[in-house]
DNA sequence: GTCTATATTTGGATAGAC
DNA sequence: GTCTATCCAAATATAGAC
């Protein structure tokens, strides 16, 4: 599948021939369904989004519960190296000039930022956390830890405990919220 | 220069022709000095390391001072988009199959982990911080925040304050050290 | 040490038959 | 909808002249 190829080699090095081979069709066959390689990539990313949303369901937890859920995500990711690699590789590759997934990741991070910042704000409103400002910086940091850990973990799984590190940062940032902002 | 090309397009998409063009020589001229494209990449990375080490000098701060210095690094990085992009793109690209910089980044992260973990341990010994265990997870997390913020910042500079987010996480993790491990 | 020229491979994409 | 065949462009690398 195209997902595996993009995860294993990145967008630039993955070839349509290889993807077609695994799919059991010819390269021309792939391009019949997807206008171009770039469109195949965006389709792969959109498909993954749809899968993840479906799996999450509409009952998204609120406030502190949502934030705690991020640690579970980190833990579950340990069992999904393919997906982790896909996002780790493509998100960084997307910052290169004219990358076809650049807008996708811009939008994705904007959405993630909003979700985490909202969860922080909700937690404050619900009284789960002390009122605080600069929630944006905290939200960005929480997202960043999870992303950064993935790269380290892919390179050296034995040296990195994604769930433990995520848990530590999350706990520390939440505990520190009142003292700073 | 090759550095700019690899930063702007990643290793796979950057071409020797483009690099040679900017350098004012032919493609064959480049390959006379570097056996292959892969060797050119490792040369670029080694050169950058040498530059950074030279700039840092041998008087590396210890303990808490070293950790605080990381915030300054994050702030200074705001003025060095090229370098930030180079490492953000290549570090993630390096997790792909048979990437020529894979060993380089494995070693780099091992070194970073050791440095940050040592600084944490030193801070505990010096009494700057309460004694704590699981410094490895904390060190990994601190490195991860800085890396993750870079990708977000490259995609949306206006939305990300690398220094502020680094500072928040660092402060929170240090403050939380005693309570957990 | 840098060039020209070229070998060799591979990539994405298109046209048209079936 | 999938194939074969082909085009065209671009890439890395090498050989040999100057």
| Residues 14-73 on chain A lying near strand C, CB distance under 7 A | 14-18, 27-28, 31, 35-38
Token readout for B69 is 């210095």
Q: Chain B residues with CB inside 8 Å of A117's CB?
A: none
CATH number belonging to domain A1-58:
1.10.10.60
How many helices and strands (H and E) does chain B possess?
Answer: 9, 0
* pLDDT at position B125: 93
Q: Taking 90 as the threshold, does the pLDDT of residue B161 lie above it?
A: yes
- A113 near B CB under 8 A: yes
In this structure, are residues A93 and B93 in contact, taking their beta carbons and an 8 Å threshold? yes
Q: DSSP readout, B37-97?
A: HHHHHHHHHHHHHHHHHHHH-S----HHHHHHHHHHHHHHHTT-HHHHHHHHHHHHHTTST
Helix axes A162-180, B135-155, angle to 10 degrees: 80
* pLDDT at position B59: 80
Token readout for B173 is 């993790």
Q: What is the DSSP letter of B159?
A: G
B60-181 topology per CATH: Tetracycline Repressor; domain 2 (1.10.357)
In this structure, are residues B92 and A150 in contact, taking their beta carbons and an 8 Å threshold? no
Token readout for B122 is 């030193």
- A33 near B CB under 8 A: no
CATH classification (class only), B1-57 = mainly alpha
Q: List pLDDT tens digits, range A145-161.
A: 999 999 999 999 999 99
* pLDDT at position A54: 76
Q: Taking 60 as the threshold, does the pLDDT of residue A28 lie above it?
A: yes
User: Could you tell me the residue ranges of all domains in chain A?
Assistant: 1-58, 60-181
Q: List pLDDT tens digits, range A73-117.
A: 999 999 999 999 999 999 999 999 999 999 999 999 999 999 999
User: Which H helix or E strand runs over A99?
Assistant: none
Q: Chain A residues with CB inside 8 Å of B14's CB?
A: none
Contacting residues for B128 by C-beta, under 8 A, at least 6 apart: B63, B64
* pLDDT at position A166: 98
Q: Rounded mean pLDDT of chain A?
A: 95
* Count of other CB atoms within 10 angstroms of residue A136: 19
Q: List pLDDT tens digits, range B77-134.
A: 999 999 999 999 999 999 999 999 999 999 999 999 999 999 999 999 999 999 998 9
Q: Given this chain, do its domains A1-58 and A60-181 carry the same CATH topology?
A: no
């Amino acid at each position: 599948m195209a997902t595996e190829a993009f995860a294993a080699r990145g967008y630039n090095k993955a070839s349509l021939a290889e993807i077609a081979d695994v799919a059991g069709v010819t390269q021309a066959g792939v391009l019949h369904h997807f206008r171009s390689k770039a469109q195949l990539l965006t389709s792969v990313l959109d498909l993954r989004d749809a899968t993840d949303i479906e799996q999450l369901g509409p009952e998204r937890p609120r406030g502190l519960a949502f934030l705690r859920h991020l640690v579970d995500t980190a833990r579950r990711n340990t069992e999904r190296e393919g997906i982790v690699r896909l996002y780790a590789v493509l998100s960084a590759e997307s910052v290169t000039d004219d990358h076809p997934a650049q807008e996708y990741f811009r939008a994705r991070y904007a959405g993630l930022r909003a979700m985490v910042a909202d969860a922080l704000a909700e937690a404050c409103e619900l009284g789960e956390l002390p009122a605080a400002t600069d929630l944006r910086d905290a939200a960005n940091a929480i997202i960043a830890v999870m992303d950064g850990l993935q790269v380290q973990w892919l390179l050296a799984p034995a040296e990195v405990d994604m769930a433990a590190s995520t848990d530590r940062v999350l706990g520390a940032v939440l505990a520190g919220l009142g003292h700073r902002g």
